[in-house]
Amino acid sequence: MPAPDTLSVFAGDCLVSTDDGTHRGEVVVLLKPDNTVLVHDTDGYQPVAWLTRADSVDRTRNGGFSITAIAGGKTLRVESQCAYGFGEYPGSKAGIPIGTCPDCERALVRAGGAVSCLGCENRYGLPDGASVLDEPCDCGLPRMSVARGDRFELCISRECESLDATVRERFDSEWDCPDCEGALRIIRRGGLLAGCENYPDCEVGYVIPTGVVVGDCECGLPRFETPRGRRCLDASCGSDR
């Protein structure tokens, strides 16, 4: 079996059968790591047949090749009458190039909420709303700008600079719990929260939104400027509406 991030390419004179009928022609078949099968001919940009994220894909190679993909009640079968070639190639998500990996000197790209290296297994998840900066960190990786109560600039690697520790240093015990007047601590519990220090006796906890503090809400908690407008730290608060 190919590696998980392998693109498999088949070329030949093929019978292409779907639930709508059968075509024959000289085509290229692309099998992606998520079991998506695309069959391309020379006419335009759209595949002549495809099946997205198939539940199962069976392939055989014995001089020629055959591919059978099934998704729900749909079936796609490609059977070569004359095989021209077959290849397996490394594949990755294509993203915006943002730098060079300090470990292997291949390109770093941003795609799907993460920065990944095209040459090794290095991958760095980005917090929601993060923007990557031009100036690199001393470690060689890109830096990012993140708004969590204030705007912070730090390395994309959590091992180099921790967003949790940075926000904790700035806002830990900065606000009081509205239920028991204990301090709200900056904690990680599923997400980054401002949670009451008296937990579990007091279960008050608020997800820190993507935004910066711009004052106080009428309820006494901080008000944030977010991409969707101003809101209280307590998303259910009616005072700020």
The CATH number of residue 41's host domain is 2.70.180.20
Average pLDDT over residues 147-159: 96
Q: What is the pTM of this model?
A: 0.72
What's at 41, amino acid-wise? Answer: D
Query: Of the candidates 61, 63, 65, 62, which has an alpha carbon nearest to the alpha carbon of residue 39?
Result: 65
Per-residue pLDDT at 91: 86
Per-residue pLDDT at 4: 55
Q: How far apart, in whole angstroms, are the C-alpha atoms of residue 153 and residue 161?
A: 10
Is residue 80 within 8 Å of residue 12, measured between CB atoms? yes
Quick check: is 239 in a domain? no
Per-residue pLDDT at 76: 97
In the chain, the number of structural domains is: 3
Query: Of the candidates 49, 96, 99, which has an alpha carbon nearest to the alpha carbon of residue 75?
Result: 49
Pair (81, 60) in one structural domain:
yes
Average pLDDT over residues 103-123: 91
Chain Cα centroid distance, residue 44: 30
Q: Which domain holds residue 46?
A: 6-90
Task: Inform me whether the pLDDT recorded for 3 exceeds 80.
Answer: no
**Tens digit of each residue's pLDDT (9 = 90 or more) over 24-66:** 999 999 999 999 999 999 999 999 999 999 999 999 998 899 9
Chain Cα centroid distance, residue 9: 25
Is residue 233 within 8 Å of residue 204, measured between CB atoms? no
Task: Inform me whether the pLDDT recorded for 210 exceeds 50.
Answer: yes
Per-residue pLDDT at 1: 39
